[in-house]
Amino acid sequence: MFTLLAKNLNYGEGPRWHDNKLWFSDFFQHAVMTVDHSGKIEKIVEIPNQPSGLGWLPNGDLLIVSMLDRKIMKFSNNVLSLHSDLSDLTPFRCNDMVVDKDGHAYVGNFGSLHHSKDVKPTCLIHVDPDGKAKIVATKLDFPNGTVITPDGKKMIIGETYAGRLTSFDIGLDKKLSNRKVWAKMMPTWYYIGVRFILAKIYTMLNIKLREGNITPFPVPDGICLDSNKGVWIASPTTSEVIRIEEGGIITDRLETPDRAFACMLGGDDGKTLFVMTAKTSIPEEARSEKSGKIYTTRVKFSGAGHP
């Protein structure tokens, strides 16, 4: 089902299909990289404070989320510079990002200062092409993978810790409105309380809590959109990629060799699904294990919209 394309990554994230290559960030190699059809990896630029989401301005300049210092960097003509400083808008590590055709970026963050601990509802930040930033949505439970429809009028964003996809309408002024639950994967009763109770039981019994092992439902990490209005979700809790449609209809479930953290449609016809996997996203373990891999599989519908 899956074909191995690349290995020996620490932790790959933010895959984007651009200029006939897959672009991605490796958190703990602190670099943006590309991989071609043959599996050849090339380092594009180093980001000392850990890269994540990627996107391009209309003139071809690359925007890169710099996670730890909460900035958006711009890579142009082999020169790295500051595009926008988001540190006054959130205290939390910035993460995934989508950039629309006009160069407007929307950036999520972890909602926590420490990996998977004390996660709080947080904000989504809009950055215009000139680098001016402001908060455009609040009370999101770990805003993560994000897509924009081909007409530029709708955003769908994954709320990882709520196990749902949420949609917004995008106005001509790039403001967000009409917030709705687009699809739900995690039952409300589990989201509201059961996961916290289970975590406390694990702690009382002195059982080491591995990330994801108390969530038996799929959750959205990285996502991508296809031409038939389906969203592919990389689910690290269930080690699979899922294609889901509005309302929560799951049409495809593909088990992945390791935990799936991000996915992207690309290739010559847009019907190759690239999946970023790893055994763990815990920083201390991912830095040393180098378990990150990229797999591919063929799907029915081609990629659409942004990224």
Domain ranges (residues) in the chain: 3-298
Instruction: Report whether 178 contacts 168 (CB < 8 A).
Output: yes
Confidence of residue 199 (pLDDT cuts 50, 70, 90): low
Long-range contacts of 184-193 (CB under 8 A, 24+ apart): 184/248, 185/217, 185/218, 185/219, 185/220, 185/233, 185/235, 185/242, 185/244, 185/248, 186/162, 186/215, 186/217, 186/218, 186/219, 187/217, 190/163, 190/215, 190/217, 191/162, 191/163
Tokens representing residue 298 in the block: 């063929």
pTM for the complete prediction?
A: 0.92
Query: What backbone phi and psi angles, to 5 degrees, belong to 136?
Result: -120, -10
Confidence of residue 209 (pLDDT cuts 50, 70, 90): very low
The CATH H-level (homologous superfamily) assignment of domain 3-298 is TolB, C-terminal domain (2.120.10.30)
Q: Residue 303 and residue 273: Cα distance in Å, rounded?
A: 9
Confidence of residue 201 (pLDDT cuts 50, 70, 90): low
